[in-house]
Amino acid sequence: MKLLWFIPTHGDSRYLGSAQGARAADYNYFRQVAVAADSLGYEGVLIPTGRSCEDPWVVAASLIGETRRLKFLVALRPGLVAPSQSARMAATFDRLSGGRLLVNLVTGGDAEELAGDGQFLSHAERYEQSVEFMKIWREVIAGSHQQDSFDFDGKHLQVKGAKLLYPPIAKPYPPLFFGGSSEAAHELAAEQFDTYLTWGEPPAAVAEKVADIRRRAAKHGRTLSFGIRLHVIVRETEDEAWRAAGALLSHLDDATIAAAQQRFGQMDSVGQRRMAELNKGKFNRANIREGLEISPNLWAGVGLVRGGAGTALVGSPEQVAARIKEYAALGLDHFILSGYPHLEEAHRVAELVFPLLPLQRDAGAAATHVLSGPFGEIVANSFVPPPAAAPVRVSAS
């Protein structure tokens, strides 16, 4: 079982949908959260992507030197960055971080946002493009850095003579993560990825996803690992935890909820639609569990105004740990967690929940890696200097 945390590059607060108790999304705060996650023993951190966020690659790179063993789950965006360039970015980050990169493909589900980035493909076409993107990306980053080049002529993407001169430390490439709830997403995950991620749906729904992707992966002769993205509201007692959940929504008004739900309804993401169906866009202020506790200790209140992951585990340490173990029994081993505000909750989850879970720690994450070249300046943008010959000793006689 591996637990990861979250860097809130779109902002953080004590209260959802309000500037009350909010914190500036700046480098010093990101660094505090990353150092806390690193020191507390989280496997890594997810860095979100989208126009509401600071750029994930810039943020992740800025945190390499601030951390020792923490891994960074960073997004690839088909259609926004060329696959060969993205492969170079990933290989560079992996080398400079000492092998601490995890890669998360994000196709995007907000047509308005994508149009602002120059992406005008339909949902189905974006998945076609993602398939082509990953074929190029994997071939380029895993190829021989000195000899092999790669040609590809697809419907959406084309490359000729693509190659990577500086390979990543991870072989054949950094671990690949992907999440999506549509049929096209499940097929893409089964065919090309290492770990499938789901948002926090009830265990029965997650079990259906896991079974479907395992079946699809078996047709390709592959097996995957699985993970889940959840918020956590844990306190020493269950009553305290539910009071904290209520406080999180205490500054939220109906107009903000309605505006958020209308916006979510315009997206073509199947996963976002499934999240919205869990909360129905309303809650009882007198009883925040009513209609929103969709499974024992699984609360859909966060999704009233937050896009993407919209559910939280709420309860005592023993209850939260039991729910995590329930998901683990379905075959999940990666748990990407977060809480409001992220700095304090990183400590709280580690202190209260970690001792109750069988965590796997990557002892080699901070080991020193010896780079294998190429050495010397690249000649004419293509040619790697040959290995240096052994020095010739000249006799003085």
Q: Determine, yes or no, domain membership for 52.
A: yes
Total of domains in the chain: 1
Per-residue pLDDT tens over the stretch 267-300: 889 999 999 999 988 889 999 999 999 999 999 9
Query: Does the bond joining 317 to the residue before it have cis omega, within 30 degrees of 0?
Result: no
pLDDT surpassing 90 at residue 240: yes
pLDDT surpassing 80 at residue 395: no
Distance set, CA 24 to CA 12, 20, 197, 247 (Å): 7, 12, 29, 20
pLDDT surpassing 80 at residue 397: no
Quick one: DSSP state of residue 19?
S
Strand boundaries in the chain, DSSP class E: 2-6, 12-13, 22-23, 44-46, 71-76, 101-105, 150-153, 158-162, 176-179, 195-199, 225-234, 293-295, 298-299, 312-315, 332-338
Q: Is 261 exposed, middle or buried (0-12, 13-18, 19+ CB in 10 A)?
A: middle
Q: Determine, yes or no, domain membership for 58.
A: yes
Domain of 346: which CATH number? 3.20.20.30
The range of the structural domain enclosing residue 198 comes to 2-356
Classified as helix, coil or strand, 22 is: strand
Q: Determine, yes or no, domain membership for 375.
A: no
Amino acid (1-letter code) at residue 278: L
Per-residue pLDDT tens over the stretch 310-344: 999 999 999 999 999 999 999 999 999 999 999 99
What confidence score (pLDDT) does residue 394 get? 46
Least confident range of 301-310, 376-385, 386-395: 386-395
pLDDT band at 387 (very low <50, low <70, confident <90, very high): confident
Share of the chain above pLDDT 90, in %: 82
- Could you give the CA distance from residue 376 to residue 385 in angstroms, rounded to a whole number? 6
- Could you give the CA distance from residue 324 to residue 322 in angstroms, rounded to a whole number? 5
Amino acid (1-letter code) at residue 357: L
Q: Determine, yes or no, domain membership for 118.
A: yes
- Could you give the CA distance from residue 144 to residue 167 in angstroms, rounded to a whole number? 8
Q: Determine, yes or no, domain membership for 382.
A: no
pLDDT surpassing 50 at residue 396: no
Non-local CB neighbours of 77 within 8 Å, separated by 6+ positions: 49, 86, 106, 108
Q: Determine, yes or no, domain membership for 397.
A: no
Q: Determine, yes or no, domain membership for 336.
A: yes
What confidence score (pLDDT) does residue 377 get? 73
